[in-house]
């Protein structure tokens, strides 16, 4: 099932690339929807307490212990579902904008989007480190062409900057992947299977060096401070749909890898590096939010908010607690939903105003109330309003941060205040105030545009009041990872013995 899930959009991308231009968008959307159906079938069959499932394992390169190995646990399943949901919504939202002949037309956009979907699914399903590395690097090909071929002036330079950062991280990761071969060979037989590496006794010094190779690559991908500078340039110059694919899907590979490989293969090194990683995460949280407040370009602002959010996700992971781990996985899903909605609605706003500069907007809510309303909902989700799903994950991460150390929680919680500033100020400057003359005839959203955003809004509200579908899937995975792999247990609640004795005396007297 997983091979079919992965290869369906990959092969579909090749078919779309050679299909007649008049059929490319319809065919691509159909393939994306078929991929969604396959993923939903897998989710229905998934047993939340069954461990890694849908396992496929075929020997690939025997001499190096490389396998074509796939499998899904709770973490991978949620990332797969997020991916297959967002891609058809992006294709629907970019239905007409992708026709721009300067970017190769809709056929090229749809083909590259499907290729990125298939390769991202392979990343989330891979249970062999070498296979993971291959598809991890391969995702850069469609991502580069999506950024460089579609979007605004300056997109070529942004695409090149994105590629240079990602290739640098990939080279560092390759060194650690080779190191794993050496370590596993010395232990008896080379193997890249995740199940073998999780049981492998890697020495302390070697484990720490290899950990940093993986972590640096994932920090660039996520991204974290100080390797984040490609993010804002990319989201500013790319199309809104490409921004969704990069920030809401591709960047999740970074935090996914921290959980899957950093904690899973290098538990001792992960605990040793925790103070350093938490420091970077806190800097990302505050610095990203402060940068966002000062932005005049709406797409650049949205990109920098993600720097702050990825800092919170990383913080939750490295608190080494069930609450933090579960909150981080939920945050990855909820951030994808909320930021995707914000990108798409901002794209609709850009189409109508012809500019992404916040200082040149205003008064939109009077002539396009549906657009303004959806923009507000997406913005409130970004700032973590109670009742919307990002609040649940953000609350869990903040609780875990306070549980780790009060001062860590105190710094992290500033993200809530700063988020309220950049979201509400952005809404005020773009949507409220007097309506300029050139805004008077602005059309509100059409049915196709609403249909592309509506599923995201429904998910944000539903999961905000009922997050159990996410927690039921993620909790067993986090428990197994932290307790069996990392070897940490949550601190039990402490109770003053004198209070217990007093309560027992009162009960006896009663």
pLDDT digits (tens, 9 = 90+) for 434-480: 777 666 667 888 888 899 999 999 999 999 999 999 999 998 888 88
Model pLDDT for residues 289-348, shown as the tens digit of each residue: 999 998 888 999 999 999 999 999 999 999 988 889 999 999 999 999 999 999 999 999
Establish if 397 belongs to a structural domain: yes
**Helix/strand/coil (H, E, C) string of 376-418?**
HHHHHHHCCCCCCHHHHHHHHHHHHHHHHCHHHHHHHCHHHHH
Strand partners of residue 67: 59
| pLDDT value at 204 more than 60 | yes
| Same domain, yes or no: 210 and 71 | yes
| Same domain, yes or no: 227 and 341 | no
Contact 110, 35 (CB under 8 A): no
Contact 463, 331 (CB under 8 A): no
Mean residue pLDDT of the chain comes to 88
Establish if 499 belongs to a structural domain: no
What residues contact residue 89 under an 8 Å CB cut-off, 6+ apart?
244, 340, 344, 452, 453, 455, 456
| Same domain, yes or no: 179 and 279 | no
Confidence of residue 499 (pLDDT cuts 50, 70, 90): low
| pLDDT value at 500 more than 50 | no
| Cα distances (Å, whole numbers) of residue 78 to 108, 206, 248, 249, 330 | 28, 32, 13, 11, 9
* Of 265, 289, 306, the domain-final residue: 265
**What is the Cα–Cα distance from 460 to 470, expressed in whole angstroms?**
12
Based on the number of CB atoms within 10 Å of its own CB, is 51 exposed (0-12), middle (13-18) or buried (19 or more)? middle
Confidence of residue 508 (pLDDT cuts 50, 70, 90): low
Q: Percentage of residues in the chain with pLDDT exceeding 90?
A: 55
Count of the separate structural domains present in the chain: 2
Confidence of residue 149 (pLDDT cuts 50, 70, 90): confident
Q: Where are the alpha helices (DSSP H) in 46-104?
A: 74-93
**What is the Cα–Cα distance from 412 to 397, expressed in whole angstroms?**
9
Domain membership of residue 238 as a residue range: 1-265
| Same domain, yes or no: 251 and 306 | no
At 297, is the secondary structure helix, strand, or coil?
A: strand
**What is the Cα–Cα distance from 170 to 188, expressed in whole angstroms?**
27
| Same domain, yes or no: 167 and 74 | yes
Q: Percentage of residues in the chain with pLDDT exceeding 70?
A: 92
| pLDDT value at 82 more than 70 | yes
| Same domain, yes or no: 288 and 251 | no
Query: Which token pair is 107?
Result: 């056929």
Please report the pLDDT score of residue 197 as a whole number: 87
| Cα distances (Å, whole numbers) of residue 150 to 33, 109, 196, 236, 243 | 23, 8, 42, 12, 11
Please report the pLDDT score of residue 2 as a whole number: 93
What pTM was estimated for this model as a whole?
A: 0.90
For 126, list phi and psi in degrees, rounded to 5: -65, 130
| Same domain, yes or no: 6 and 125 | yes
Model pLDDT for residues 187-201, shown as the tens digit of each residue: 778 888 888 888 888
Residue corresponding to tokens 């309560």: 503
| Same domain, yes or no: 398 and 335 | yes
Degrees, nearest 5: CA angle 335-316-132: 70
| Same domain, yes or no: 232 and 295 | no
Establish if 501 belongs to a structural domain: no
Establish if 222 belongs to a structural domain: yes
| Same domain, yes or no: 123 and 234 | yes
| pLDDT value at 65 more than 90 | no
Question: Helix (H) and strand (E) counts for the chain?
Answer: 24, 2
| Same domain, yes or no: 302 and 366 | yes
| pLDDT value at 104 more than 80 | no
What residues contact residue 439 under an 8 Å CB cut-off, 6+ apart?
353, 362, 363, 364, 367
Establish if 510 belongs to a structural domain: no
Query: Which token pair is 49?
Result: 């307490």
**What is the Cα–Cα distance from 408 to 99, expressed in whole angstroms?**
48
What residues contact residue 261 under an 8 Å CB cut-off, 6+ apart?
129, 132, 194, 214, 218
Establish if 19 belongs to a structural domain: yes
**What is the Cα–Cα distance from 478 to 323, expressed in whole angstroms?**
9
Model pLDDT for residues 392-421, shown as the tens digit of each residue: 999 999 999 999 899 999 999 998 899 999
Please report the pLDDT score of residue 506 as a whole number: 64
Establish if 30 belongs to a structural domain: yes
Contact 270, 318 (CB under 8 A): yes
| Same domain, yes or no: 53 and 91 | yes
**What is the Cα–Cα distance from 134 to 131, expressed in whole angstroms?**
5
Of 165, 145, 139, which Cα lies nearest the Cα of 249? Answer: 139
* Of 237, 265, 293, the domain-final residue: 265
Query: Which token pair is 317?
Result: 């992971």
* Of 198, 231, 265, the domain-final residue: 265
**What is the Cα–Cα distance from 399 to 320, expressed in whole angstroms?**
12
Model pLDDT for residues 331-365, shown as the tens digit of each residue: 999 999 999 999 999 999 888 888 888 888 888 88
Establish if 70 belongs to a structural domain: yes
């Amino acid at each position: 099932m997983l091979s079919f899930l992965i290869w369906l959009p990959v092969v579909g991308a090749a078919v779309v690339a050679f299909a007649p231009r008049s059929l490319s968008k319809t065919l691509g959307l159909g393939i994306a929807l078929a991929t969604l159906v396959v993923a939903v079938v897998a989710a229905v069959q998934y047993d939340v307490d069954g461990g890694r499932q849908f396992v496929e394992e075929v020997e690939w390169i025997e001499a190096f212990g490389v396998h074509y190995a796939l499998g899904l646990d709770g973490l991978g399943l949620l990332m797969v579902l997020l991916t297959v949901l967002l891609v058809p919504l992006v294709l629907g939202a970019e239905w007409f904008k992708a026709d721009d002949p300067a970017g190769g037309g809709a056929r090229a956009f749809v083909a590259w989007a499907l290729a990125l979907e298939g390769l991202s699914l392979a990343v989330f399903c891979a249970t062999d480190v070498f296979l993971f590395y291959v598809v991890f690097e391969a995702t850069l090909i469609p991502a580069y062409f999506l950024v460089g071929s579609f979007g605004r002036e300056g997109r070529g330079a942004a695409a090149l900057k994105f590629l240079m950062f990602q290739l640098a991280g990939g080279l560092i990761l390759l060194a650690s992947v080779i190191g794993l071969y050496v370590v596993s060979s010395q232990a008896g037989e080379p193997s890249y299977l995740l199940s073998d590496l999780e049981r492998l006794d890697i020495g302390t010094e070697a484990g720490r060096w290899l950990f940093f190779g993986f972590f640096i690559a994932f920090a660039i991908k996520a991204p974290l401070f100080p390797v984040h500078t490609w993010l804002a340039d990319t989201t500013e110059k790319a199309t809104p749909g490409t921004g969704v694919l990069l920030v809401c899907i591709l960047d999740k590979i970074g935090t996914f890898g921290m959980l899957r490989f950093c904690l899973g293969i290098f538990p001792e090194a992960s605990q040793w590096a925790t103070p350093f990683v938490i420091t970077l995460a806190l800097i990302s949280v505050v610095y990203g939010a402060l940068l966002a407040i000062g932005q005049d370009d709406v797409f650049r602002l949205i990109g920098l908010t993600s720097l702050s959010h990825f800092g919170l996700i990383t913080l939750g992971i490295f608190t080494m607690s069930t609450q933090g781990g579960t909150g981080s996985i939920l945050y990855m899903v909820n951030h994808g939903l909320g930021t995707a909605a914000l990108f798409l609605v901002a794209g609709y706003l850009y189409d109508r105003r012809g500019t992404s500069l916040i200082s040149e907007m205003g008064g939109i809510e009077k002539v396009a109330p549906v657009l303004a309303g959806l923009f507000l909902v997406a913005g409130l989700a970004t700032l973590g309003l109670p009742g919307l799903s990002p609040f649940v994950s953000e609350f869990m991460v903040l609780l875990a941060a306070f549980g780790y150390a009060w001062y860590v929680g105190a710094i992290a919680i500033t993200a809530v205040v700063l988020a309220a500033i950049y979201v509400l100020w952005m809404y005020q400057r773009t949507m409220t105030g007097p309506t300029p003359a050139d805004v008077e005839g602005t059309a509100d959203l059409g049915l196709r545009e609403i249909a592309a955003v509506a599923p995201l809004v429904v998910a944000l509200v539903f999961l905000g009041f009922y997050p159990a579908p996410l927690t039921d899937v993620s909790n067993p995975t986090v428990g197994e990872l932290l307790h069996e792999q990392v070897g940490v247990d949550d601190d039990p609640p402490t109770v003053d013995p004198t209070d217990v004795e007093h309560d027992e005396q009162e009960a006896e007297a009663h």
